Structure 1
Amino acid sequence: MDLDTVRTFVAAADAGQFQEAAVELAVTQQAVSKRIAALERDLGVRLFTRTPRGAELTIDGQAFLPHARELLRVAERAVASVRTGHRPLRVDVIASRVAASGLMRGFHRAHPAIDLDVMMLFDIETAVAAIRSGAIDASFRAVAVPGRPLPEDIESVRVLDEPLQLLTGPAHALADARSVTVAQLVGHRIWMPGIVPGTEWAAYYDDLVAEFGLTIEATGPNFGSDALLDTIADTPALATFMGEQTRLVWPAGHGLRRIPVTDPTPVYPHSLLWHRDNPHPALATLRAHLAAATPGRDAAGTWMPNWVIPR
């Protein structure tokens, strides 16, 4: 059903005259008459009766009018759902408890009028494909792993360098330390079952191991953060890394310790990725917010892989 004819019908019904409807729609009265006639042919009924005072709805016209209004409302909502600036900004944060999620919560607090759809995609290939297809507007990732450059149409900027901390149970040999150096971690077992080969975080930890001779184990199934915390609390021989801004909650009886790592401090580089031709106005607002909210230069005494994009 042609929406122009439906819109013309509603305008004529509201005005009660074809001439007034023509003025409202900025068309000729003849065009209004032709559209109404075409709609009547499609529906197989008369919609108007001509009178000396104009045009009155027939019984069929009265029955059709509320449905015609709803058709136009649905069409408007359909267009608004994809119109730049009217649909929500769709951003991938990887997971709900990590630093990127915290950055987006801060953005939402600062700009509550901007509608957001928060996505959680697993790997960088999926995220980049979603950005290029328009399924999402942006993604937080660590880039650019050697041998896997970003496509030329994908822009990126580093927005946060997040220090790693050591998480131990109460019986671990380092549990009472106020901080630990990277050198002190050599020989200790660091258990991280969430590391998946081929991901950007796997590349990061591979370089960390190679640089400092650490022992990171990714053995066993990944049952999630709760199971990881239970194991670390109960196993004196194991510790794990977590980002300083990772938000986790555990039972008080676990007695877990979050210990800063120093000399140097390994930092995980979070970057924002987006398509260079994305016109969504809220994307520019997000980039400006992140630039203002996070430090803009490398901090002294930190480490990250040499493939990380510069500030």
Structure 2
Amino acid sequence: MDLDLAQVRAFVLAAEELHFGRAAERLSISQQALSKRIAALETRLGARLFDRGGQGVRLTGPGGRFLDPARRALAAGELAAAAVTEVRRPLRVDVWGHLYAPMRTLAQVAARDERLELELGHGRDLPSVSAALLHHEIDAGFGRVHPPLDDGLTHRLVRLEPVDAVVSAGHPLAAEPYLRPDQLRGSVLWTPGPLDRLDFLRRFADRFGVAGHAGGPNLGLDHFAARIVADPTFFSLFPADSALPEIPGIRSIPLLEPTPLYAWSLLWRREETGHLLDPLLAAVVEEGRRNRWMEYDPRRDWLP
């Protein structure tokens, strides 16, 4: 069966918006023209893709099953056109991360390889990054991968990042040159978001017996630091090689015996062709060798 990609695109946008008017605006066509494209596609497929009732627009069963393959068809069409026209576009990479490593990682990589053309995005969490990948909204993203990972995605571990404990100058352990993680049992773990959505911090608390925790919105580094300074019982974790905001009364203390490591992976779609991602992967791997990003010793490190 031959599919008209203009009709497929109209269907995908209508499925994302669940509103024909907004989908038509995104395509810069009239709502009538959008409806005609979707009706023609339904005729071609021999199936109704939407329910249009008094409660709005909803996908039918066949429409729901068609959505992901339709997105893949559009992406394949774009790749096919690019191969003929040799049009280059930036690699769309999401740099979400509550420990801020992806942005610093890409900055180091891009500084050494000026050929990389990157367009950066900012997701909310790993599920939102995964959804953006599956919807072909981005080409790659960063995250700490832990089961389950969607079957349509794959990943490569690219950086193991040591973390320090961050406390206020009034914290009882603030004068220590370094800390063992279990010394923080009597402190309160402050998290930039709900603990149940921050798998690494939750596992840290469980592994080292930290019973107290408090959460708040992720409003950036200054808020992160100010919140810890405001309560001498609080602590949090922060990348060891990243500078904290210049806020009086905050201290970063190395964690040893063991050193917790945060594992960053680069994620992409399994179906993705190599020519788009290979330059970025090669650059990240080379930068990792140069900076020893993948060093791990189970005798001294903790890697959940």
Q: Give the superposed CA RMSD.
A: 2.6
Deviation at 1:159, TM superposition (A): 0.9
Q: Which of 261, 264, 273 lines up with 1:267 in the alignment?
A: 261
Alignment check: 8 A CA contact 1:97 1:246 kept: no
Match of 1:240 in 2: 236
1:90 to 73, 92, 101: 92
2:95 is aligned with 1:99: no
Query: Secondary structure of 2:170's partner?
Result: coil
Whole-Å separation in 2 of the counterparts to 1:235 and 1:184:
18
Q: How far is 1:85 from its partner? A: 6.7
Unaligned runs of 5+ in 1: 1-78, 306-311
The Cα of 1:83 is off from its aligned counterpart by: 6.8
Deviation at 1:246, TM superposition (A): 4.0
1:180 alignment counterpart: 179
2:193 aligned to 195, 206, 214, which one?
A: 195
SS in 1 for 2:279: helix
1:299 pairs with one of 294, 297, 300: 297
Alignment TM-score, normalising by the size of structure 2: 0.65
SS in 2 for 1:180: coil
Query: After the TM superposition, which residues 207-218 of structure 1 pair with which residues of structure 2 at under 5 Å, given as runs?
Result: 207-218=203-214
Larger Rg: 1
TM-fit CA distance, 1:213: 0.5
- Judge conservation of contact 1:94–1:122 (CA < 8 Å) in 2: yes
What SS is found at the alignment partner of 2:104? helix
Label 1:220 to 1:131 Cα distance change in 2 as closer, same or farther (>3 A): closer
Paired position in structure 1 for 2:137: 135
Q: What is the CA distance between 1:222 and its match in structure 2? A: 4.5
The answer to whether the 8 A contact 1:96-1:120 is kept is: no
| TM-score, structure 1 as length reference | 0.63
Equivalence for 1:11: none
Distance change >3 Å, CA 237–CA 197, structure 1 → 2: closer
Contact 1:154 1:273 in 2 (8 A): yes
1:97·1:248 contact (CA, 8 Å) conserved in 2?
no
Residues 243 and 177 of structure 1, relative CA distance in 2, 3 Å threshold: same
Q: Do the aligned partners of residues 83 and 279 (structure 1) sit closer, same or farther apart at CA in structure 2, a change above 3 Å counting?
A: farther
Matches of 2:144 and 2:223, distance apart in 1 = 25
Counterpart amino acid of 1:116?
Answer: L
* Structure 1 Cα separation of the partners of residues 222 and 270 of structure 2: 39
Overall identity of the aligned pairs, in %: 27
Displacement of 1:267 in angstroms is 1.1
Q: Which residue identity is paired with 2:296? A: D
> How far did 1:173 drift?
1.2
- Find the residue that maps to 1:219 and give its secondary structure: strand
Quote the residue 1:257 is aligned against.
251
1:21 matched to which residue of 2?
A: none
Q: Aligned to 2:255, what secondary structure does the other structure show?
A: strand
**Matched residues in 2 for 1:299 and 1:85: separation?**
45
* Aligned amino acid, residue 135 of structure 2: S
CA distance 1:222–1:89, shift in 2 (3 Å) = closer
How many pairs does the alignment contain? Answer: 219
Amino acid at match of 1:236: P
Given that 2:96 and 2:124 are in contact with CA atoms closer than 8 Å, whether structure 1 keeps it comes out as yes
The one-letter code sitting in structure 1 at the alignment partner of 2:263 is P
C-alpha distance 290-263 of structure 1, shift in aligned 2 (>3 A):
same
Q: Which runs of 4+ in 1 moved over 6 A?
A: 79-85
Partner of 2:125: 123
Instruction: Tell me the distance in 2 between the aligned counterparts of 1:255 and 1:303.
Output: 28
For 1:204, the aligned partner's letter is F
Q: In the alignment, residue 182 of structure 1 is paired with which amino acid?
A: P
Residue type at the aligned position of 1:278: E
278-287 vs 105-114, greater mean Cα deviation: 278-287
2:181–2:257 CA contact under 8 A, matched in 1: yes
CA-CA distance at 1:160 after TM superposition: 0.9
* One-letter code aligned to 1:230: A
Is 1:167 the counterpart of 2:166? The answer is yes
Shift of residue 287 of structure 1?
0.9
